[in-house]
Structure 1
Amino acid sequence: MPTHAPTVADLNEKALLARIFPRLGAPKALLGPGDDAAIVAAPDGRTVISIDTLVQDADFRLSWPSGYRTSGFDVGWKCAAQNLSDINAMGAVATSLVVSLTLPGSTEVAWVEDLADGLAAAIHVLGASGCSVVGGDLGRGREVVVTAAVTGSLEGRAPVLRSGARPGDVVAVAGVLGRAAGGLAVLESSEDYASLHSDPSTENQVLLELAAAQCRPRPPLARGPEAAAAGATAMLDISDGLVRDAGRIAAASGVAVELDPAALARHAEPLQAAASRLGADALDWVLGGGEDHGLLAAFPAGTALPEGFERLGTVHDGAGVTVGGEAPRVAGWDHFAG
């Protein structure tokens, strides 16, 4: 018997799976874990599918410069959130997740159990009531890698693509902007995370809330189907920053997107004190920070925006993204740039 906290190297695959599956709840599928593949109902006749990966030291750190230590719960939550958000952005609802875990042998079993808890909690708390983890894979490697594929149902609706925006449309956002980017700045900063907890000042509480937005984002899952029902012409999940993702709608639709400086300022203002403390600019977080996983959508002019959406700009003839007619000063996230 190990004298240290049990690690995955102390268990075989069957024993580790026995620790994971009970934490995920009963699978909502025709056939769940146990065979070579799961079977998921598709009453709509179409299946929406997406896949996303979290890689240690590329998408998260186990230990941050601020002293924060990423929990398995954080990684499980974020894995679920970013995948559920992709389905949401099509105007669909999630129906299943399959999850692949690559783990170093030194990974503590408790951390993996915590990851399973985070997956289950995010699905429940974010409101993906028809979704569950229905299977996956385990492997050993030099770093933690979590990959999930998610399926969804359009429930009879037409999908909302990136390519439908037309000149005259209103651009709107549901969810928050810049908070996850602010949280990343907190985690990467010289601020001592433990001290932030021990001093309950309002300013410190804001920094803690930003860090939580980075580790456990809250995409507005109800808003995607509502936007589709309201006639959204284009939509996507804001994962790589507002400017970059607005540019994707512009490119796919063959139009220009102009963002309203006053609307952007309303999102930046609550972040300004934290940004100043960290030597950053709140507007840069709003324009260039991703991972809040809000929705950016275009609606025909005159459409009453669905609940939770706020006007952010307009669609015009042309190409690219501008802010009040000027080129934006930040570009957003690119995995392979710089």
Structure 2
Amino acid sequence: MTISQIGEFGLIQRVVQKLEMGPTCLLGPGDDAAVVVAPDSRIVASTDVLVEGRHFRRDWSSGADVGHRAAAANLADIAAMGAAPTALLVGLCAPPDLEVAWAEELAGGLSAEAGRVGASVVGGDMSASPTLVIAVTALGDLRGNRPVVRSGARPGDVVALAGRIGYAAAGYTVLSRGFRTPKLLVEAFRRPEVPYSAGLAAARIGATAMVDVSDGLLQDLGHIAAASAVAIDVTASAFDVPSQMRDAASALGVDPYAWVLAGGDDHALAATFPPDVDLPSYWRRIGTVTEGAPEVTVDGKPFTGRTGWDHFR
């Protein structure tokens, strides 16, 4: 069955049945707007768009996979501000011949990923479109903490990373070459594992700057360097490259560090901390902040390859 056969309101009814409301939702779908708790009185907001053929392919990922990925991309931005996610709003633009089952899987994936952090999909909108587009807005609560922005890094700070890096980029390369293994890498592209709790923890222990690594580690650290007017040096040996990634890189003729340093979509969190902070084990030191013109180097030298993703290049 396609969505043109059941219509907009029939699809809405089916999709809403897939959504579970968490404790942060006071009023969910069904009215002109939702009502979400905001104990801190400051609301953190972010939005992201996934376009079929640009960000995902239906022959690579299920509807549930895309739902998890769309939610994760936005929830990670909230975590990178040192906040706790509370709600998602979803805009769906879909071709009329899209299967209803796929849309239901999408809703289930969105709801399940939001549920990992106690958030809910509280509403949205939909429209017919020749291209499948999923636009997600995320809301979050600072829980009394200051927001961790990109402009706070200081010379002498350490640079640390929470979460996996390079896995999703490797999975994308594997899929684009027509393969479906190694499963570890392919699944990382389909459903990123975001260290959500590390963001709130970083805010509490004094992170000076933080960013969601969505477009490539070096490129996203470059945003911190530019906003903070500092230089950042990354230590290549600080990264563990799993055997599956090394084997895939060898088979495909790729330098695995190109995935680690410049690949995106894992949604790891990168942050800077004062040098005397006792970092939890899930934050690993990967570099230092120094005085100098805003730039990011690797082992003291400029990186010669591509540093990340740019939609218009």
TM-score range, shorter chain: over 0.9
Structure 2 matches for 1:1-338, cutoff 5 A? 6-26=1-21, 28-63=24-59, 69-124=60-115, 127-129=116-118, 131-191=119-179, 193=180, 204=181, 207-264=182-239, 266-267=240-241, 271-318=245-292, 319-329=294-304, 330-337=306-313
What amino acid maps onto 2:311 in structure 1? Answer: H
CA distance in 2, matches of 1:211, 1:289: 14
- Kept after mapping to 1: 8 A contact 2:87/2:114: no
- TM-aligned CA deviation for residue 268 of structure 1: 6.4
- Kept after mapping to 1: 8 A contact 2:215/2:263: yes
- TM-aligned CA deviation for residue 190 of structure 1: 3.0
- TM-aligned CA deviation for residue 36 of structure 1: 1.6
What amino acid maps onto 1:180 in structure 2? Answer: A
Deviations 1:7-40 (A, max 9, x none): 0010121111111011111364222211221122
Q: Which runs of 4+ in 1 moved over 3 A?
A: 267-270
- Kept after mapping to 1: 8 A contact 2:47/2:136: yes
What amino acid maps onto 1:23 in structure 2? Answer: K
- Kept after mapping to 2: 8 A contact 1:269/1:282: no
- Kept after mapping to 1: 8 A contact 2:231/2:295: yes
Unaligned runs of 5+ in 2: none
What amino acid maps onto 2:99 in structure 1? Answer: E
SS of corresponding position for 1:83? helix
CA distance in 1, matches of 2:261, 2:243: 13
CA distance in 1, matches of 2:243, 2:155: 29
- Kept after mapping to 2: 8 A contact 1:241/1:332: yes
State TM-score, norm by structure 1: 0.89
- Kept after mapping to 2: 8 A contact 1:268/1:283: no
- Kept after mapping to 1: 8 A contact 2:88/2:114: no
Distance of aligned partners of 1:336 and 1:47 in 2 relative to their CA distance in 1, 3 Å threshold: same
Tell me the residue number matched to 1:198: none
SS of corresponding position for 2:300? coil
SS of corresponding position for 1:30? strand
CA distance in 1, matches of 2:94, 2:183: 28
- Kept after mapping to 1: 8 A contact 2:86/2:139: yes
State TM-score, norm by structure 2: 0.96
What amino acid maps onto 1:16 in structure 2? Answer: L
- Kept after mapping to 2: 8 A contact 1:230/1:306: no
CA distance in 1, matches of 2:18, 2:121: 10
CA distance in 2, matches of 1:239, 1:228: 20
Q: Looking at secondary structure, tell me which structure has more strand per residue.
A: 2
Tell me the residue number matched to 1:201: none
CA distance in 2, matches of 1:25, 1:268: 36
Unaligned runs of 5+ in 1: 1-5, 64-68, 194-203
SS of corresponding position for 1:128? coil
- TM-aligned CA deviation for residue 270 of structure 1: 5.6
- Kept after mapping to 1: 8 A contact 2:66/2:106: yes
What amino acid maps onto 2:310 in structure 1? Answer: D
The percent identity for this pair of structures is: 48
